[in-house]
Amino acid sequence: MNKEDKIRDELFDDLLDATEKAQDLGIPQVVWMGITFFTQMAIDCAPTVTDARHLISQATKSVKKDKSFAAEFEK
């Protein structure tokens, strides 16, 4: 595992911890907050809004249903 892989794994774990802390808001609101937060970050940090929207589109297309992941939130 290289340094970037380790950072990605740690970020993923940190995001899971943050969602766990906010679980009383309910999954829909936590998802809404995460999507709007990262969408805003993409738009603010990308060279253009078009670039940001492309990044967001590509990211959403890469996601597939993960039943084991969903089961973690139902506990």
Nearest to 33 by CA among 51, 21, 50: 21
The better pLDDT of the pair 40, 75 is held by 40
What is the residue range of 14's domain?
3-73
The predicted structure's pLDDT at residue 54: 97
Task: Work out the burial of residue 19: count CB atoms within 10 Å of its CB; fewer than 13 is exposed, 13-18 middle, 19 or more buried.
Answer: middle
Residue pLDDT, tens place only, 6-62: 999 999 999 999 999 999 999 999 999 999 999 999 999 999 999 999 999 999 999
Specify the number of domains making up the chain.
1
The predicted structure's pLDDT at residue 70: 67
